[in-house]
Chains A and B, each alone.
Chain A
Amino acid sequence: MMGQAKASYAPLAAEAFDLTEVYREHAETVSRWVRRLVGSESESEDVLHDVFLVVQRKLPGFRGEAQLTTWLYAITVRVVQDRRRRGRWRQWLPFGATAEDELPTETPNPLQALESQQAAELTYRLLDGLRENDRTVLILFELEGLSAEQIATVTGTSRTNVWVRLHRARNRFRAAFEKVRQ
């Protein structure tokens, strides 16, 4: 969760920000966010690379006004959304095959692994039916456990907007879930 990441990191002075340092400190955390938001391990590596490319470009302008983790989270969310939007266009192109879903499988035994894999597969399939912004809000709220305020900060919107999106996302997710069960 973002709160945990925040607690483990003391913000550095503006001049202390260095890409190598930031990567060493935060790459794991960011990669976890990426895997959660993307839902595919093979794609996650490329997304993580994209995230840190943005970080590399924007780091000189980061003055520590916000928590570094919040800043990184916001970049991650934006990069994932952009990439998924581009991917939606690519899927219509003959050469733009999307990556196959490789879902997180950190489970102790094969049976649980199978159940987890099936649950994750269904969950991300249903999530993919949502609008990109709604999908992000739902993941951040339900799976990442962020509060509405934190989601508003990360996505750059208002709290009200977050609630509206969450409500809409839940309704659609629920409807899709019911349809799948039937």
Chain B
Amino acid sequence: MKINERWIDRPTDGGTADDRIGSLLRQLPPAAPLPPDALMRVKARLRRRTGSARGRWLRWATVAALLILGNTGLVFATREVMRWFAARRAPTLPVPAVPPPVRKHASAQAPVAAGPAPVEPAATIEIPAVEKLWRHARAVRQPAVETAPAPAPIPSPPVVQAPAETAALLPAVAAPPARASAPTQPMLATPAPTPASGSLAAEAEVLTRALQQLRQEGRPAEALATLESYAERFPGGGLRREAAVARVDALLALGRKEQALAVLEGLPLEEVGRADELRVIRGELKAARDCQGATADFDRALAGRSPASLQERALHGRAACRARLGDAAGSQADLREYLRRFPDGRFTDDVRRKLVPSPTP
């Protein structure tokens, strides 16, 4: 059978399958049009549809408006519920003018097998950018009724002990004092808070609570739990780096230095506040097992414009590390530099003991 031959044109008396199919198709009745009443019904349906086109658009517009209104209401309700929960969990906000004294954590006071080299806590601390952010969000949301007094400085975190005994000269690792001079600019580099940034406000609330627990109430374990809940609720949160820094503080306060170091090593220090201070802390933590890496951190802290207190710690730490690495001359040079710059420093006695008197000509 040719391709352009039709079955219907096959001979009627043939015995092939194509012939039989041709016979079958020839039995089919011609396709008749639909009866007039069916055509009239279709016409009427088309007319109704044309007439109802405007009504259909109105229905869609109503549905869209209801969806938008519903979503807005849901967002508003969610925000209010979160505020209510936050208010229940943080009843002490706003921060009192005179903060209670810091209660040192038990584990923070226990010696950590190393020669104790306690570092006095910082006297004052700048309000973290996170708290500023949260207060700003509150102020914007409640401009007329916000009469709370201006927040006072929050006390510093508890003190922790020196990292290891192996190096006699190693400096103390202190919980970050977060002095007033500590830079906070990078934290504020995140998008400016607006009343619409409800998620950011919620993040800031949780983070503020953690910082309160850590710095005001002296409860680093609870602060850590709050930070865990922050990480679960806001895995990619805009304040995750600030949360990581707070986590470092809490872990140091609990004496969990290895974990603190692990967090610090995963943190881009350039992008967080207190970069110089965190770098020095990282160096001090590394010094127990990686003096090369620690020296690099100390070098960087000494090369920058970090505050004198950090320079002091970095210089002392570098001297210790250089001694451990066999660089006696470098270590002695650092010790002499330390005495020159910080004659009344907190490591002065230790430095004097380690300093070998230079031979007189």
Binding site for B on A (CB under 8 A): 19, 23, 27-29, 31-36, 41, 44-45, 48-49, 52-53, 56, 104-107, 115-116, 119-120, 122-123, 141-143, 145, 148, 163, 166-167, 170, 173-174, 177-178, 181
Contacts and interface: CB of A to CB of B under 8 A. Distances in A.
Given A142-B8, A177-B21, A28 B46 contact: no
A148 B4 contact: yes
Contact of B25 (A123, A174, A181): A123
Contact of B34 (A31, A56, A142, A177): A31
Interface string B1-39: 001101110000000011011001101111111100011
A44 B38 CA distance: 9
Given A35-B32, A106-B30, A120-B28, 4 more contacts: A27-B33, A52-B42, A56-B49, A142-B8
Contact of A41 (B6, B27, B34, B41): B34
A150 to B, nearest CB: 13
Given A27-B39, A45-B41, A32 B20 contact: no
B39 A119 contact: no
A163 B3 CA distance: 7
Contacts of B17: 174, 177-178
Nearest to A103: B29
B222 to A, nearest CB: 55
Given A29-B33, A104-B29, A52 B46 contact: yes
Q: How big is chain B's contact interface, by range?
A: 20 to 34
Contacts of A23: 43, 46
Contacts of A115: 27
B20 A31 contact: no
11 contacts: A27-B42, A33-B31, A41-B34, A48-B39, A56-B46, A119-B24, A142-B7, A145-B6, A166-B3, A174-B21, A181-B20
Contact of B38 (A31, A122, A170, A174): A31
A32 B50 contact: no
Interface in B246-285: none
A58 to B, nearest CB: 14
Nearest to A117: B29
Nearest to B22: A142
B218 to A, nearest CB: 64
